[in-house]
Amino acid sequence: MTDLASLHRTAATDETARAALDATGLELRLVASEDPADAAPWSQAVARGFLDGELTEVQLGAWFERGGQRRRIGVYDHAAPEPERPVATFASWVAELSVPGGRGIPSVAISTVTVAPTHRRRGILRSMMEGELRRAADVGVPVAILTVSESTIYGRFGFAAAAMSGYLQVDVPRAHWIGPRPDGRVDFISRERFRELAPGIHDRARIGMPGEIEMPEGHWDRFAGTRPDAEHPERLRAVRYADASGLDRGVALYSYRENHADFARSKVRVERLVAETPDAYAALWRFLLELDLVGELEAGELSIDEPVLWMIADRRAAKLSVGDHQWVRILDVPAALTARRYAAAGTVALEVVDPLGFAEGRWILRVDESGTARVEPWEGAASDGVPLVRLGVAELSAAYLGSVSLTTLVAAGRVEASDALAAARLFLWPETARLSFWY
């Protein structure tokens, strides 16, 4: 993984992308992340692209500190008044994506994609994305992942939402806790202690949660407000759950918004809840749902199948809205499909269409009784009785984490299957895919 990560970080930019941009007078190149003179204008371009103001020196310093592990590329217009500031940005790094069966697969996580409003809609994103996907595939990364500002952008590049996220609002006085009351203890801790404990807990928990990834550099400090550029870190409160033997098993971070019209109906926002045991999960949620003076609780980036919904007496006290969250794009079909485990044995023949070519082909997926898969190229006719599935790479990617059913995609007219139920049974996984943050 480390070798793959450094290969990916330092690989030259894609020749086709470079040539396409060069033909329009633009230069595509790697950014020297270790050089503040190159990294700062790149960071300013990202901030501008995401509607932020100019970054202060303190903010630039924080960006610089945490960006070192990322592959950053920029597109430069030497005719512009500020030629050192790129007109397009793109960053990526290799991160482990959790897949069904308590396993991980190396994935290229893509972030900070911007094109300046002065240069939009002339194919710069397309050149960067196609070039960077080719690079990732060349160095042997089997999957690409991203979270998106707009859900209309990335389907055309073969990505699809494979893990959804839930935004939860709870009418707290109405909810009434009926869940477990674990015998460990919940205590307040400092934000700094949260910062120390959270990474280990997340790492132990994430591998059993399809859709989660390793936390990117800098994120924990951002959550905990322990970076020099943190805004109002004093509003954050942190607690931890230690089990009966004293081991730290979960942490939560939350903030309040007072309701001046009715102080007893103030609002609490769960900024982060990380639990590695069911007890820690229950204890922390119970703490949050029994806070005094709170009328409403909100929490985002949850699973859409949270156990907490079954831990309250009044289900209608909770409203959950669903959004797309973890987008996945398979680059290497055999590597991706053999990396995960399956809940049922069976065989399907897959005919995958991929306009960019990476996943295009005909494959036989065979899953044995232990849930382990073999994938072989499929030549000739499929054997009698083997379900045949025709689908695009985006649809295969949607089904990859086991939470989007092929029957749904068939019903939506996006997949053709000779036996949709049999194919769906093979791909579905009983643990709902999730991703607990943006990157």
Ligand X SMILES: CC(C)(COP(=O)(O)OP(=O)(O)OC[C@H]1O[C@@H](n2cnc3c(N)ncnc32)[C@H](O)[C@@H]1OP(=O)(O)O)[C@@H](O)C(=O)NCCC(=O)NCCS
d(Cα 126, Cα 88) in Å, to the nearest integer?
Answer: 11
The stretch near ligand X (CB under 6 A) out of 63-71, 72-80, 112-120, 334-342 is 112-120
Of the two residues 129 and 288, which places its CB atom closer to ligand X in the complex?
A: 129
| Beta sheet of 88-99, edge-to-edge order | 27-30, 71-76, 88-99, 103-115, 143-146, 318-330, 160-171, 294-302, 266-275, 248-257, 236-242, 185-189
361-367: strand order across its sheet = 373-377, 361-367, 346-353, 388-392, 415-417
Kindly state whether residue 122 participates in binding ligand X, applying the rule CB under 6 A: yes
3-state secondary structure of 237: strand
Q: Which stretch binds ligand X (CB under 6 A): 33-41, 76-84, 109-117, 402-410?
A: 109-117
DSSP output for 293-343 = TEEEEEEEEE-TT-GGGGSBS-GGGEEEEEEEEEEEEES-HHHHHHHS--S
Indicate which single residue of 124, 236, 274, 349 sits in contact with ligand X (rule: CB under 6 A).
124
Gap between the Cα atoms of 271 and 68, Å rounded: 26
113 part of the interface to ligand X, by CB under 6 A: yes
CB of 37 to ligand X, least distance (A): 24
Is residue 289 within the footprint of ligand X (CB under 6 A)?
no
Q: 88, 74 in Cβ contact below 8 A?
A: yes
Q: Quick one: 120 or 374, whose CB is closer to ligand X?
A: 120
CB 351 within 8 A of CB 389: yes
The residue to which tokens 């030549």 are assigned: 379
Taking CB under 6 A as the criterion, the residue among 54, 57, 150, 234 binding ligand X is 150
Q: Does 133 bind ligand X (CB under 6 A)?
A: no
The binder of ligand X chosen from 61, 123, 208, 334 (CB under 6 A):
123
Query: Smaller CB distance to ligand X: residue 3 or 82?
Result: 82
Whole-number minimum distance, CB 167 to ligand X, in Å?
Answer: 19
The dihedrals phi and psi of 421, each to the nearest 5 degrees, come to -65, -45
Query: Does residue number 435 form part of the binding site for ligand X (CB under 6 A)?
Result: no
**Is 377 buried (19+), middle (13-18) or exposed (0-12) by CB count in 10 A?**
exposed
356 in contact with ligand X (CB under 6 A): no
| Pick from 231, 233, 267: nearest CA to 253 | 233
CA proximity to 362, closest of 370, 371, 353: 353
- Binder of ligand X out of 13, 43, 92, 114 (CB under 6 A): 114
Q: Does 181 bind ligand X (CB under 6 A)?
A: no
Cα 42 from Cα 306, distance rounded (Å): 39
Residue 160 lies near ligand X (rule: CB under 6 A): no
The single residue listed with the structure tokens 């054997």 is: 383
Which one of residues 23, 152, 183, 385 is an interface residue with ligand X (CB under 6 A)? Answer: 152
Choices 69-77, 149-157, 254-262, 271-279; region in contact with ligand X by CB under 6 A: 149-157
CB of 112 to ligand X, least distance (A): 8
Q: x/- string (CB under 6 A) for ligand X, residues 190-209?
A: --------------------
Site stretch for ligand X (CB under 6 A), options 6-14, 122-130, 245-253, 416-424: 122-130
Residues near ligand X, by CB under 6 A: 49-50, 113-115, 120-126, 148-150, 152-153, 156
